[in-house]
Structure 1
Amino acid sequence: MKIKVTDAASKWFREDMGMTGRGVRFFGKVYGKTPVHEGFSLGMTPDDHPRHPVVAEKKDDVTYYITEGDQWFFVGYDLTIDYDAKTDGPVYQYDDNGELDK
C-alpha cells in the first residue's frame, strides 16, 4: 500500500486548502461508492497528529497518510491523488498492488 501525490494535487492542497506544514488523513466512510468499494467512499480530513500511520507520503511539506484503523479500506491498492481542474478538487485512483493475490 502506497500513497502517491501528483504535483497538481500537492499545489491544490497547499494553495486552496492551506495545508502547508500540516497533515491530511485519508479514510473509508460509510455511504457512497468508489471504483473498489460499493457502499463506501473515501474521506479526507486535516489531521496534524497521525496516530499509528501504516503509510505516509510527505510532499511539499504536507504529510498525506492512512492510519491503522483505516487500513482495511486500502488493502490491495495504492492510492494516487491527482487534481481535476474541471471540478477544482482532488481525484483518486486506486491501483491494484497485488496484495490481494498473495
Structure 2
Amino acid sequence: MNIEVTKPAVRWFKEQFEENEHKSIRFFARYGGCGSFQSGFSLGISQEEPEHPLAEVQVDDFLFFVEEKDAWYFNQHDLKVKYSRTHDEIEFESQEVTR
C-alpha cells in the first residue's frame, strides 16, 4: 500500500496543525460516514506516533501513515489525499494497486 498526499493537501495540514509539535498524522478506519474504501466506514485523522505502520510517507515536516490494524479497510488499495477548493477540506481517493 502507498500513500500519496498532494501539495495542496499538505498546505491544508500545515494550516490546521501548524502550532502542534507532533507532525505525525494517522489515517484510520472509523465506523459511520461515507467512504470510498468500505461501505459503512470512513477515514478518520488523528495526530499520534506510529506503532506498527502498514504504510507511511514523509512530506515536508509531516509523517502520514496507516497502521497495520487498519489494512482491512483499504482492501489492497492505495490512498491518495487531496484538497478540495470547493469544500475547503481534504478528500480521500482510493487507487487500485497496479503492482
Counterpart Cα distance in 2 of 1:57 and 1:32: 25
State yes or no: 1:97 paired with 2:97: yes
Q: What does residue range 1-102 of structure 1 map to in structure 2 within 5 Å?
A: 1-18=1-18, 22-47=23-48, 49-98=49-98
Q: Which amino acid aligns with 1:32?
A: G
Q: Which amino acid aligns with 1:23?
A: S
Counterpart Cα distance in 2 of 1:20 and 1:12: 16
Counterpart Cα distance in 2 of 1:91 and 1:59: 17
1:68-90 deviation line (CA, Å, top 9, x unaligned): 11111113110000101121110
TM-score (norm: length of structure 1): 0.87
Where in structure 1 are there 5+ consecutive unaligned residues? none
1:19-60 deviation line (CA, Å, top 9, x unaligned): 67610000111112222311111111111x210111100001
Report how many aligned residue pairs link the two structures. Answer: 98
Identity %: 31
RMSD after superposition: 1.7
Contact 1:77-1:95 within 8 A present in 2 as well = yes
Where in structure 2 are there 5+ consecutive unaligned residues? none
Q: Which amino acid aligns with 1:22?
A: K
77-86 vs 33-42, which deviates more?
A: 33-42
Q: Which amino acid aligns with 2:72?
A: W
